[in-house]
Structure 1
Amino acid sequence: MPFPLPTADAAAMGFRTEQLERLVALIDRHIADGHYPGCQIALARNGKLALVRSFGNAATQPDRRRATDDTLWLLYSNTKVIVAATMWALAERGAIRFVDRVADHVPEFKKNGKGAITLLQLLTHQGGFPNAVVPKDAWDDHAKLRQVVCDFSLEWTPGSKVHYHGLSAHWVAGVVIEAVTGKDFRDVVRETVLEPLGLGNDLFMGVGPALAARVSDMHYQPPLGGTPQNDPDNNAAEWRRAGIPGGGGYGTARGMAALYQMMLADGVLNNHRLVSPRTLQYALRNWTGDRVDEFMGMPMHRGIGPHLRGTTEAIRGLGSIASPRAFGHGGVGTSYCWADPDSGVSFAYITNNRVPDPWHSWRLDHIANLVHTAIL
């Protein structure tokens, strides 16, 4: 499957190469200083790929394996944008409306006072159950998965707060996708979004043994510092296979940059229209205003999938100097991917070590701002 974006020279595409050289040098220093074993970046503009670069190691134990441009990285919550794009497409087909209640499609979800929760509230982190958990034995047993999410209990009144739902809301979204299509949500994502857009070799809702040689191991930072260690939970076969819709997708940086190019091109990639411009305008609207996301501690300007930069002083991941219309999403302690409608630029930065704040947020801002200042 050919990649949907042709390559072109970065300088000819209107990028300041000295700023891109500073970006590469910064990531080289991060790896030399032991912040993460490996990394991949991709930069695109106006339907062309300007830069793809892989750094360091995809695996460290028991043997080192160098990262390549085909390496697949755990996307963590960048996965939410892929799932949201699937929901956009289902809405265009008339299978759902974002003003629908979840219980309109999954009637038993109304248990425990959840009957009024809309799909819009669900996907903009206003559902009211941010800490609900799906156990491992439901990851592959989707009949049990449906039962588990319907049994979720509310922690606060839906719509009364904005509070990031790390995994819980998108498990519900997966159940809704299955309810309206009659198929495994992972298959629906692949058939509806990834393959038609030409990204079937770059983005995956879960990976099996056949792709093991391409997958980068995930690492975590020991509490007292030191060498990043392999993460046994996120490298386990059941995690990789599950395609957890809130955080278990895998992909390349070029794949994520291309997905965001689709959004900048009014819904078209690989000569395939996924959604209409009007659907994108609706999805990429700031639905939560300047209300503080109580998990993030700042306004996050939530859209249906990505969030927007807006005009507040601080924002997470998109770069403090980004255009107010820029939008994107991150992955816990590791990554951020974003697009800028004012310049036609999309960018993906993915690493394989989950590091805590404050350093994580500092480096995301630094990385993104180097890219923004490279744009002419």
Structure 2
Amino acid sequence: MTGTPEISGTTAPGFEPVREAFAGLWDGSDEIGAAFAIEMDGKPVIDLWGGWTSKKRESEWARDTIVPVFSTGKAITALVMGWLKDQGQFAFRDRVADHWPAFAQAGKGDVTIAQALSHQAGLPGLSEPMEAAGWFDRDFIEARIAAQAPLWPPGQGSGYSPIVYGFIADAIARRTDGRSIGDILKEEMAGPRGIDFFIGTPESEHKRTAEHRLPPKAPDLGEINDSTNLAFLKPWSSPGRRGATEWRKAEFPAANGHGNARSIATLMGLYANEGRLGEDQLLSPETIAELMAEQVRGPDRVLPFELSLGMGVMRNMTNGFYGPETASIGHYGMGGSCGFADPVRHLSGSYTPCQLSFHLAGDPRAVTLINAVYGCL
């Protein structure tokens, strides 16, 4: 089965051009399957999906298809950390070592939770060689993180941390609440509300998971330095050698969330609506404001562009990846997925493809759809 697919789903009156833009993703391109969703004031206005779930184009993308979204999940992990903060488990100004004493090794004793959640801890990856399968051993990885010296003085600029970021958040969560990031998400946020997003995806959900196709070329990482090497280019920079099933089941809070555009748009609505989710005030407005506030701004030591970072989110004011509103925030995942929120218009959304692109952030497919939405407002 090939060609332009039938587009399924709904668009509220006035948003018809977005449906046309979504269908246009398949025109003369290698798009396979994808979904796109927008909520305003916590209510769905766009919920679209189309295409196929793998490069074989044998199975159509369905309403309940989910897909790995890689670093898009960092914004969801940050929401879990915000929920824990509201439960009184910690303050963002606390030092990581206040709750994880071993982390104080090698000059990291004063690193705050806020700095760790905004990529300022100096830990873009792991320095010591290891097997890629080592990432599946949480105790082993935590010991490596705790012992490692930062690559630059913490708090002096950002250096994007693709995977270590999530292990630090998870270590704090388990040492304060007693549960992992994935379990808290399931039990307190997503599960009770039927939100289809997982960090640690049960094997029962794997049959409806779309399979990625790799990008046509590698991303442009800019000038390669020690931080870039550890983050992306070492043989052990990312989990491997355990197969797709074990990778999906594992909890990598910064890197392997599974969901669809609808579920991510709903969760990102917490940023757009001062912590409200439906009738629930799930996070306090103050905590949401803290998460979105600028923690650091400037050239990143890993990614080849300037960033304005909150905690777990990239702020829109330096790159315009999330439409024209400078107050918007969001996060992209490897290959093109994204979730974003506009707190001015109380708008949230997500794009989730299975064809990966080579863009590190600001995938043109997502940007096209987001701009189409704003063109309808």
Taking only the aligned residue pairs, the percentage that are identical comes to 25
State how far apart, in whole Å, the 2-side matches of 1:127 and 1:153 are: 10
Shift of 1:190: 1.5
Q: Is the 8 A contact 2:269 2:341 kept in 1?
A: yes
Q: What are the ranges of 5 or more consecutive residues in structure 1 without an aligned counterpart?
A: 1-6, 225-231
State the TM-score, normalized to the length of structure 1. Answer: 0.84
Q: Is the 8 A contact 2:73 2:254 kept in 1?
A: yes
State how far apart, in whole Å, the 1-side matches of 2:314 and 2:82 are: 15
| Residue 296 (1) aligns with residue 290 (2) | no
State how far apart, in whole Å, the 2-side matches of 1:359 and 1:147 are: 31
220 and 340 in structure 1: CA distance in 2 versus 1, 3 angstrom threshold: same
Q: Is the 8 A contact 2:71 2:331 kept in 1?
A: yes
**Structure 2 equivalent of residue 210 of structure 1:** 204
State how far apart, in whole Å, the 1-side matches of 2:98 and 2:41 are: 39
Shift of 1:274: 1.4
How many residues in Structure 1 have an aligned counterpart in Structure 2?
A: 346
Shift of 1:208: 2.8
Amino acid at match of 2:209: V
Amino acid at match of 1:43: I
**Structure 2 equivalent of residue 23 of structure 1:** 21
**Structure 2 equivalent of residue 365 of structure 1:** 367
170 and 345 in structure 1: CA distance in 2 versus 1, 3 angstrom threshold: same
**Structure 1 equivalent of residue 4 of structure 2:** none
Which secondary structure does the structure 1 equivalent of 2:45 belong to? strand
State how far apart, in whole Å, the 2-side matches of 1:64 and 1:364 are: 25
Which secondary structure does the structure 2 equivalent of 1:357 belong to? coil
Which secondary structure does the structure 2 equivalent of 1:77 belong to? helix
Q: Is the 8 A contact 1:127 1:158 kept in 2?
A: yes
Which secondary structure does the structure 1 equivalent of 2:296 belong to? coil
Out of 246, 251, 256, the position equivalent to 1:248 is 256
206 and 358 in structure 1: CA distance in 2 versus 1, 3 angstrom threshold: closer
Q: Is the 8 A contact 1:8 1:48 kept in 2?
A: no
State how far apart, in whole Å, the 2-side matches of 1:300 and 1:46 are: 28
Q: Is the 8 A contact 1:45 1:346 kept in 2?
A: yes
State how far apart, in whole Å, the 2-side matches of 1:114 and 1:294 are: 18
Amino acid at match of 2:26: D
94 and 360 in structure 1: CA distance in 2 versus 1, 3 angstrom threshold: closer
Amino acid at match of 1:23: A
State how far apart, in whole Å, the 1-side matches of 2:145 and 2:106 are: 11
**Structure 1 equivalent of residue 233 of structure 2:** none
| Residue 81 (1) aligns with residue 75 (2) | yes
| Residue 112 (1) aligns with residue 93 (2) | no
State how far apart, in whole Å, the 2-side matches of 1:174 and 1:304 are: 14
Shift of 1:266: 1.8
**Structure 1 equivalent of residue 322 of structure 2:** 318
State how far apart, in whole Å, the 2-side matches of 1:130 and 1:365 are: 27
Shift of 1:359: 10
**Structure 1 equivalent of residue 357 of structure 2:** 355
Shift of 1:333: 1.7
Shift of 1:209: 2.2
Which secondary structure does the structure 2 equivalent of 1:301 belong to? strand
235 and 345 in structure 1: CA distance in 2 versus 1, 3 angstrom threshold: farther
| Residue 307 (1) aligns with residue 307 (2) | no
State the TM-score, normalized to the length of structure 2. Answer: 0.84
Out of 39, 43, 50, the position equivalent to 1:48 is 43
Q: Is the 8 A contact 1:23 1:371 kept in 2?
A: no
| Residue 156 (1) aligns with residue 159 (2) | no
State how far apart, in whole Å, the 2-side matches of 1:286 and 1:199 are: 32
Q: What are the ranges of 5 or more consecutive residues in structure 2 without an aligned counterpart?
A: 1-8, 219-239
| Residue 262 (1) aligns with residue 270 (2) | yes
Q: Is the 8 A contact 2:107 2:150 kept in 1?
A: yes
